[in-house]
């Protein structure tokens, strides 16, 4: 479990892909100065909103394995050396809850539909499958590439968020442009409510 408060912007060091019967797997090595501190093999790290397990460590570099399902359902597949990624360690009991509950299970890949810059601030519109907007509400929460954000406006197939200068500076969203793909995870509580309504 995570909070959606990015601890650092790591850098992809290497990507090693292998062909398997189901498609393709990848060994992803990321330089992480903060998240590598006190890390151990088996730890869960949120990488661009996707929960991955540390399988190898070398100083400040962490290696993860991503299966074919992960590569096909997230934006981790196209990553290449030098690309930045958002990183967050898993939530520990007693930690402050500054964002919202983020599971690290990506629901879908969205696309930047519009970016409106106003001085140091920016408003982003993202296109997503309509089934996801049914789990969203104005002023509710959403995780975009692992970043906990507040929804401004929700339409049938898109939604908007307003980004402060700090978020633009310390996360990957600052370099996102129209057409870029992002990982989307809707609010866990909204999923439970929707499921109960279906049963009733």
Higher per-residue confidence, 179 vs 94: 179
Q: What letter does residue 99 receive in the DSSP assignment?
A: S
99 domain residue, yes or no: no
2 domain residue, yes or no: no
Q: What is the pLDDT of residues 82-136, one digit of tens each?
A: 999 999 999 887 887 788 999 999 999 999 999 999 999 999 999 999 999 999 9
Final residue before a domain boundary, out of 55, 89, 123: 89
Q: What domain count does the chain have?
A: 2
Identify the H or E element spanning 130. Answer: helix 130-133
Q: Longest Cα pair distance anywhere in the chain, in angstroms? A: 52
Q: What is the pLDDT of residues 143-163, one digit of tens each?
A: 999 999 999 999 999 999 999
103 domain residue, yes or no: no
For the record, the structure tokens of 64 come out as: 């993860």
pLDDT score for 199: 75
Range of the domain at 44: 8-89
Q: What does pLDDT average to over the chain?
A: 94
Do residues 170 and 6 lie in contact, with contact meaning Cβ atoms separated by under 8 Å?
A: yes
pTM for the whole structure: 0.92
94 domain residue, yes or no: no
101 domain residue, yes or no: no
Do residues 185 and 107 lie in contact, with contact meaning Cβ atoms separated by under 8 Å?
A: yes
CATH code of the domain containing 70: 2.40.30.20
Judgement on whether residues 74 and 121 belong to the same structural domain of the protein: no
Judgement on whether residues 141 and 169 belong to the same structural domain of the protein: yes
pLDDT score for 44: 97
């Amino acid at each position: 479990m995570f909070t959606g408060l990015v601890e650092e912007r790591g850098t992809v060091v290497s990507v090693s892909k292998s062909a398997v019967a189901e498609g393709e797997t990848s060994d992803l090595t990321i330089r992480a100065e903060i998240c590598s501190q006190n890390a151990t093999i088996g730890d869960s790290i949120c990488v661009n909103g996707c929960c991955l397990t540390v399988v190898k460590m070398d100083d400040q570099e962490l290696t993860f394995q991503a299966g074919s399902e992960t590569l096909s359902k997230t934006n981790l597949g196209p990553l290449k050396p030098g690309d930045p990624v958002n990183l967050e360690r898993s939530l520990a009991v007693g930690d402050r809850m500054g964002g919202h509950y983020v599971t690290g299970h990506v629901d879908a890949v969205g696309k930047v539909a519009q970016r409106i810059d106003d001085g140091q601030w920016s408003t982003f519109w993202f296109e997503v499958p309509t089934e996801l907007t049914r789990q969203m509400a104005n002023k509710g929460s959403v995780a975009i590439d692992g970043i906990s954000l507040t929804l401004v406006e929700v339409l049938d197939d898109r939604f908007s968020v307003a980004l402060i200068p700090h978020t633009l500076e310390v996360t990957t969203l600052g370099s996102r442009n129209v057409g870029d793909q992002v990982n989307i995870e809707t609010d866990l509580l909204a999923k439970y409510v929707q499921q109960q309504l279906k049963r009733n």
